[in-house]
Amino acid sequence: MTSPSSSDLGQRWPRAAHRGLRLRPDDVLLTVAVGAVLAVGWPAVNMLHGAQPPALMVLLAHVTGMLAGYGVVVLVGLMSRTPALERGIGADRLSRWHSVGGRAVVVLVVLHAFAATEAWAQGRQEDLLLAAWHVLRLPWLISASLGTCALLLVAAVSIRAARRRVSYEAWHAVHLLVYVGVALGFVHQLAGPDLAGHRLLQVLWALLYTGVFGLVLEHRVVTPLRMAGRHRMRVAAVVPEGPGVVSIIVEGRDLQELHAESGQFFRWRFLTPDLWVTAHPFSLSAPPTATRLRLTVKTLGDGSTKLQSLEPGTWVLAEGPYGAMTADRRTRHNVLLFAGGVGITPMRALFETLPLAPGQDLLLLYRARNDLDVLFRDELDHLAAARGARVRYLVGDIGPLTPELLRQHVPDLPDRDVYLCASPGLSSAVRASLLQAGVRPEQLHEERFAF
């Protein structure tokens, strides 16, 4: 390994040519924001230009209703697995946006229900309970209320405290209620006072919904089925890697057509009676080949426990590849890979394939609780020797990963790209230290393996 010369520092690595459309995060956020302004602006302008100035509750009911209806469709769109979004933004960030947006939409829906009922009560001189009863008896309000209950249930199981007690499979199954909730509330939106009578707006609003559900159908149903028919993936072997950790080798044909890259992940659905219902996200732990993919799984819940005893020959449906933590995110000559625990899986694959020209340095810092938890040690040592890269194992009680400690290991840290994959707690701590140590956000590429 050669230390980088000062002239190399700060020099940018040319980005690889993009494969397929990638939507930039800023552009997507701007588009969503413009849509939100239109969704809020239409009822507000419409009502303020009316014969009488609207009461505050009426205005609040209209604005929150339109914004909630728009927000729901944006949330579904973010999770539609559309490749342009997945490639450009990354599943990890999309999931965080979805989480933040979900909270906002739930608040908007509750506010809308309250404001509409309160406005009715004020207008009819009724108490709130009687007004609620009258509002519920309006056409399509029962179904909209049931849809709201479905959304609230999903929100309840997504609260952090509840999510810890719920298995991934249960959480995933409850999340499917979102589609039911959205469908139940759709006609109420279309017949709402802000859209009714405006044919063009009604058609455009419906197009927003049918378009997004079309994306979901294409990318979450049709594409996985097509891939299953085309690539015919099956489990070839299940290999123990460590305590509670196995690698699953999946064989298939023409897998190069998937255009999967190191650092990416698939959502795997193993077709056994116990496992077929839920798709589990797991990173590739080795570079993909034309006939084989490898994923590595640690026992964390019911589903991943059952994966340990998969039989060779089990059929596999795979959605993907997803994730933007790939080589073409690189902006610098030198790279630091930081892995924590089972977060080594995508790093193991990247460690083998990240482009490394003479004079460039590739360093892998691998944090593990103890020696038994260190996975792929032989492979990593072998690759390091073969590629002229470096690997350091941070095992046992080494204290907090402070900026100073990281700088001790990586003196030129601010001038490196950093790829990070670890548990949420460790990721947060390392991210904070990296930023304090001078790594800029655009140099940090990460994937958090939490649902």
Partner 1 sequence: MMLAFDETLQRVTAQQLPTRPPAPTPPSRASAVLPVRRSGILIATFAVLGALWLGLTAPAVSPVAGPTPVAPAVVQDAVPPAITRPDTVVQPPVLPAGPGAPGRRGRR
Indicate whether 147 belongs to the interface with partner 1 (CB under 8 A). Answer: no
- Specify the residue, 1 or 107, whose C-beta has the smaller distance to partner 1: 1
- Specify the residue, 158 or 285, whose C-beta has the smaller distance to partner 1: 285
Report the nearest approach of partner 1 to the CB of residue 442 (Å).
Answer: 21
Indicate whether 19 belongs to the interface with partner 1 (CB under 8 A). Answer: yes
Q: Is the dihedral of CA 226, 232, 238, 239 positive or negative?
A: negative
Stretch that binds partner 1, among 4-12, 183-191, 304-312, 433-441 (CB under 8 A): 183-191
Helix axes 177-190 and 168-175, enclosed angle (nearest 10): 20
**Measuring CA to CA, which residue among 387, 328, 337, 261 is closest to residue 12?**
328
Stretch that binds partner 1, among 136-144, 172-180, 311-319, 393-401 (CB under 8 A): 136-144
- Specify the residue, 103 or 253, whose C-beta has the smaller distance to partner 1: 253
Return the residues of window 28-67 that contact partner 1 according to CB under 8 A: 54-55, 57-58, 61-62
Report the nearest approach of partner 1 to the CB of residue 385 (Å).
Answer: 9
Residue with token string 């469709």: 73
Both ends of the chain: CA-CA distance in Å?
38
Q: Say which DSSP state 413 is in.
A: G
Q: Which of 10, 41, 243, 388 binds partner 1 (CB under 8 A)?
A: 388
- Give the separation between CA 141 and CA 121, rounded to whole angstroms: 16
Residues in the chain: 451
Return the residues of window 318-377 that contact partner 1 according to CB under 8 A: 327, 352-353, 355-358, 376
- Specify the residue, 234 or 292, whose C-beta has the smaller distance to partner 1: 292
Indicate whether 382 belongs to the interface with partner 1 (CB under 8 A). Answer: yes
Listed in sequence order, the residues at least 6 apart from 359 whose beta carbon sits closer than 8 Å to its beta carbon are 2, 4, 5, 8, 333
- Give the separation between CA 179 and CA 351, rounded to whole angstroms: 40
Q: Which of 210, 305, 309, 408 binds partner 1 (CB under 8 A)?
A: 210
- Specify the residue, 140 or 168, whose C-beta has the smaller distance to partner 1: 140
Query: Cβ(325)–Cβ(419) under 8 Å?
Result: yes
Degrees to nearest 5, angle at CA 385 with 383 and 391: 70
Report the nearest approach of partner 1 to the CB of residue 425 (Å).
Answer: 28
Indicate whether 230 belongs to the interface with partner 1 (CB under 8 A). Answer: yes
3 state DSSP class of 125: coil
Q: Which of 15, 103, 259, 369 binds partner 1 (CB under 8 A)?
A: 259
